[in-house]
Structure 1
Amino acid sequence: MSPRVFLAAFILLLGASNAWAQLTSEQKLAKDRGIVLFNQLKAVSATPFLTVAAEAGDPEAQYFLAESLRAKNHYMNSEARHWYEAAAAQNDLYAMIQLGRSKNDICDLKNDCPANEKKAAEWLNQARDLAKPKADLGDAEAMFIMYELTLDDSWLEKSASAGHAIAQYWLAVGYKQGDGVFLPWKRSEAVAKWFKASAEGGYPKSMMEYAAILYEKGDLDGFRHWNEQAALAGYASTVYGYGSDLAHEPDTYGFPLDIIKGYALVYSLKELDGGGGLQARVESKLPKIAAKMTPEQIVEAQLFAQKWKLTHPPLSFFPDRLSH
């Protein structure tokens, strides 16, 4: 795996934080574990770990704790709002956007929100006031935030052009769904261009989209390459498919047979313990692969899985930073 792709995947997983210096080593470990669990779609399990760092004042942990609480309850309750507001007070723009988008806060439903509580529009205006100057100076992430705030496609295009991998992904998705004006044969070129740029920037969802485009063109080498890169980045859905392909269960895309590695990758997904809904598929697939292996090979594969975990990014479904 290239250092660039590994670094991009790690940044997408953990995000940038200016508050790490304020945390003890134990608090940092709790925060990191919490974000890993959150990205594995295990919001309930993530909550106690994120709480440790959130209570220590880390704004990123506060944001992901709020996201976890909102996911667990399916609405913006007072506890989630508290942690969004704590992160927003430290200029977390994503927290401001979530506060600004909230339409089902429990106090709104009961019509008893505190009189001094900021209105949704105020949070969005504050986020815009902070993001716009950075965007005007060419900050790619700030441009993407301006797109989220305004839904003005020109900001998305600017962010993509400035190299923001997630903006590139969403620009490609939009073009694929019919946004923009193109000559018929140019649309597919634009879609491929931006998925490729995003894939090269380390975004696993784009790796799989670009792989599918290459497969449709008959480029099986390219398809296999991007599948492998997505698996190396820890994209859980692809780890399952890549492992199955290596074990030739089934042999669909011409991957070289490596039954030890294939079993190991599928086996590694047991760690998710139901997160992301892969468990039933894993429990069904492993016996099929194991039926073609000796007991010694299965032990070797399980050791391989342990080594893989230590040398690769944590498993993740790479959920959107701004959930809906």
Structure 2
Amino acid sequence: MKKMLSTLLLVIALSSSCYATNYRPDYLAQPLADIQQLAQNNNPEAQYYLAKRYSFGQGGVKQSDRKALKWVKKSAEQGYVFAQDWLAVMYKSGKGTMQSNQKALEWHKKSFPKLKKMADQGNKKAQNTLGLIYDTGSPIGKKSYKEAVKWYKKSAKQGLADAQFNLANMYFNGNGVKKSYKKAIIWYRKAAEQGFDRGQFNLGNMYFSGNGVKKSYKKAVIWYRKAAEQGLADAQINLGYMYEKGLGLKKSHAKAIEFYQKAAKQGNKIAERNLNILRKKK
């Protein structure tokens, strides 16, 4: 009978939306009650931040795409450019609403000129958002990795962790730039040191694999732990795996189970599988 083995996640995490608690993104900076009050009083920025909380299930609310849509739409209708861009993406993907290319295009046309103007004026959030539009081709338009790199780089140099993480991914994959693990490491580290959870996770993977840096299980564990402690399921899985195999730290099935359970409670299927395999070994 074929022996089943636990799974380690070495796929580089993508997407720039910031979930890290130590990083404290803007939408988590204020108490929930304050944000809700401001949102009810038609403050467009507060409505956008409340939508973010519902989208990610953070900051004291349960995850709800429908509630995220409700609040991002209120914000967008008041002209908040980041909400308009996000609403276009939601219509394009059908997240929380019926998929509609027409509505996606309508909101994209409203947001893009304003985003471009803000980015040209040096707004780092607008620069990163513009980078995402060119990187993904979403909500509407053709991909241009070179343009994406251009805008990510402008934002990253201003210290935005989201953009530093995105730029690192471009170097890792060789999209719009010459592939370079060493440059990817530089930008993952910058994002990771700001507390960006997926930057920490990716940096851990680079140390585990020895891509662009000397292989070190101990350093991989350090960065997996930082991300795992912030609740990133992929990092919890990898830290559990390191405990299971005794890589970079003392072997402990109890600790492995602890971290697999944390990820499994978030609904992660790989964690559930690893947990079942490990329990059968006992």
TM-score between the two structures when normalised by the length of structure 2:
0.64
Instruction: Tell me whether 1:155 sits opposite 2:165 in the alignment.
Output: no
Residue of structure 1 aligned with 2:193, choices 189, 195, 200: 200
Larger helix share, 1 or 2:
1
Pick the aligned partner of 1:209 from 202, 206, 210: 202
User: How far is the alpha carbon of 1:121 from its aligned partner?
Assistant: 0.6
Secondary structure of 1:88 counterpart: helix
Distance 1:146 1:228, change over 3 A: same
CA distance in structure 2 between the aligned counterparts of 1:65 and 1:159, rounded to whole angstroms: 26
Cα displacement (A) at 1:180: 4.2
Alpha-carbon displacement from aligned partner over 1:189-247 (angstroms, at most 9, x marks no partner) = 2122112212212222222222222232322222222122221222112112213432x
Q: What are the equivalent positions in structure 2 for 1:1-324 lying under 5 Å apart?
A: 9-10=20-21, 15-17=25-27, 20=30, 23=33, 58-59=46-47, 60-63=49-52, 65=54, 82-89=70-77, 92-101=80-89, 102-103=91-92, 106=98, 120-129=108-117, 131-132=118-119, 136-137=121-122, 139-149=123-133, 152=147, 153-182=149-178, 187-215=180-208, 216=210, 217-246=214-243, 249-251=244-246, 253-272=247-266, 274=267, 276-278=268-270, 280-281=272-273, 283-285=275-277, 287-288=279-280, 291=282
* Contact 2:124-2:154 at 8 Å conserved across structures: yes
Report the Cα offset of residue 160 of structure 1.
1.0
Report the Cα distance in structure 2 between the residues aligned to 1:255 and 1:107, rounded to whole angstroms: 47
Superposition CA RMSD, Å = 4.1
- Aligned amino acid, residue 95 of structure 1: A
Aligned AA (2:248): G
* CA distance, structure 1, for counterparts of residue 245 and residue 112 of structure 2: 49
Residue aligning to 1:33: none
Who wins on radius of gyration, i.e. which is larger?
1
- Name the CA shift for 1:284/1:259 in 2 (closer, same or farther; >3 Å): closer
Identity of aligned residues (%): 19
Whether the 8 Å CA contact 1:97–1:149 is kept in 2: the answer is no
On the 8 A contact 1:244/1:262 being kept in 2, the answer is yes
Does structure 2 conserve the Cα–Cα contact (< 8 Å) formed by 1:266 and 1:286? no
Task: Report the CA distance shift for 1:96/1:279 in structure 2 as closer, same or farther (over 3 A).
Answer: same
In the superposition, the TM-score normalised over structure 1's length comes to 0.57
Letter in 1 for 2:259: L
Gaps (5+ residues) in structure 2? 1-18, 58-62, 136-146
Distance 1:180 1:155 in 2: 11
Aligned partners of 1:145 and 1:23: how far apart in 2?
A: 28
Number of residue pairs matched by the alignment: 234
Contact 2:197 2:232 in 1 (8 A): yes
Shift of 1:119: 5.0
Q: State the 1:62 CA deviation.
A: 3.4
The one-letter code of the counterpart of 2:160 is H
The runs of at least 4 consecutive aligned structure 1 residues that moved more than 6 Å come to none
User: 1:147 is matched by which residue type in structure 2?
Assistant: G
